[in-house]
Amino acid sequence: MAIKKILIVDDSPTERHHLVTLLNGQGYELETAENGEEAIALAKETKPDLILMDVVMPGLNGFQTTRALSRETATQEIPVIICTSKDQESDRAWGMRQGASDYLVKPVEKAALQSAIQRLENKIAGPSTTTL
């Protein structure tokens, strides 16, 4: 399954715009949310193929939101890539324990984001089966 619909979650309009700009023109349908609560509601409603999640947000932070999404039957199959300024190894480990599929540190670069999305698509597709 190819990733077509991406939900970008960040309380900063500047960061949302940056991620939208990185992904624009690549054939993705992009949606945005400003906080964790809105992200959970949108994820249940629109079923994106991928969520890009900030961590530091008012209300539910990105770790809490990722954990909630990964435990909710309706959203647990949606991969989450955390995109945050929190660059400590303990933050990365905690994010992955909450259910994230990948972890990128801001400022997110286009090549790193494309690479993370490609890894997810390869993982979703599974190993290729070649018959001899």
Q: Which CATH class name applies to 5-125?
A: alpha beta
Sorting pLDDT into bands at 50, 70 and 90, what band is 19? very high
pTM listed for this prediction: 0.93
**In this model, does residue 9 exceed pLDDT 90?**
yes
Query: To the nearest whole number, what is the mean pLDDT of the chain?
Result: 94
CA distance 57 to 65: 10
